[in-house]
């Protein structure tokens, strides 16, 4: 039985309808309706098998759930070179924010220099979700002890009208304010982001429990009134 058939055995039509409302870029007919815990369980069951390798070679997939399963299998890879190769093969086919945000291979954390080289390529891409993924990797792996100011500059330098890129830029800076406040506050005080990303980053930061009340009060004074 193919993995696609296994996905249909796990179908929940109510969940499919719910997912369709969250995924405006995906045709409802291309959503099977498999809950995330079931997808992750299946990924763990098949990871490393010939069945999984065959499935990973079948790009592009038709179904949203197939793409999520694909992402989860990549996320379980324990070899950096394999994970990077599979990610590079998969990124051009990602067509929605949820799949893009669903996989963060843990093995990437053990190879920061090689990952940064890949991020530099991804962030210069013309593909919306490849750029979004690059910013996610900077947020996931380079906002704590590995943080350098130039990484925030890489994100700020991204210029795009794509909603799903702009939202990730805002998310990055909101998270950066929680973790590296003194290094990144200048992007707001000096208006170094476009107005939409500026205001959205402030909104998300104010919603965060990791930002102090004093910092939140100051951030409110920085909001741009005309967007």
The sign of the dihedral angle between the CA atoms of 122, 124, 125, 128 is positive
What percent of the chain clears pLDDT 70, i.e. is strictly above it?
99
Q: pLDDT tens, 22-63? A: 888 899 999 999 999 999 999 999 999 999 999 999 999 999
Quote the pLDDT of residue 227: 47
Sign of the Cα pseudo-torsion (26, 159, 218, 222, in order): negative
CA distances from 100 to 23, 60, 136, 144, 192 (A): 12, 15, 9, 22, 26
CA 105 to chain centre: 12
Helix crossing, 128-141 with 112-122: angle to 10°? Answer: 150
pLDDT at position 23: 86
Read off the pTM.
Answer: 0.94
For residue 158, give Cα distances in angstroms to 116, 183, 185, 200, 207. 16, 18, 18, 16, 24
Percent of the chain, pLDDT > 90?
96
* Residue 137, pLDDT score: 98
- Contact criterion met (CB below 8 Å) for 173 and 187: yes
79 pLDDT more than 80? yes
Position 109 pLDDT exceeds 80: yes
Q: What integer best gives the mean pLDDT of the chain?
A: 95
Evaluate if residue 1 carries a pLDDT over 80: no
CA 61 from chain centre, in angstroms, equals: 19
How far separated are the first and last CA of the chain, in Å rounded? 53
The reported pLDDT for the residue numbered 22 is: 87
For the cut 80, the answer to whether the pLDDT of residue 185 exceeds it is: yes
């Amino acid at each position: 039985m193919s993995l696609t058939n296994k996905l249909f055995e796990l179908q929940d039509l109510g969940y499919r309808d719910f997912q369709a409302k969250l995924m405006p870029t995906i045709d409802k007919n291309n959503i099977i309706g498999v809950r995330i815990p079931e997808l992750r369980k299946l990924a763990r069951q098949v990871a490393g098998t010939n069945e999984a390798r065959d499935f990973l070679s079948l790009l592009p997939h038709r179904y949203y759930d197939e793409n999520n399963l694909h992402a989860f299998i990549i996320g379980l890879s324990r070899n950096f070179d394999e994970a990077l190769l599979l990610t590079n093969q998969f990124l051009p086919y990602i067509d929605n924010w949820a799949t893009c945000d669903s996989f963060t291979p843990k093995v990437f954390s053990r190879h920061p220099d090689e990952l940064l080289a890949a991020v530099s390529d991804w962030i210069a891409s013309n593909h919306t979700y490849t750029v979004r993924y690059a910013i996610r990797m900077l947020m996931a792996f380079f906002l704590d002890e590995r943080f350098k100011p130039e990484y925030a500059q890489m994100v700020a330098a991204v210029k795009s009208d794509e909603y799903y890129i702009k939202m990730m830029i805002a998310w990055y800076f909101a998270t950066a304010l929680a973790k590296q406040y003194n290094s990144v506050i200048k992007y707001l005080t000096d208006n170094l982001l476009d107005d939409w990303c500026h205001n959205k980053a402030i909104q998300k930061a104010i919603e965060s429990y990791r930002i102090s009340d004093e910092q939140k009060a100051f951030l409110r004074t920085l909001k741009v009134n005309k967007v």
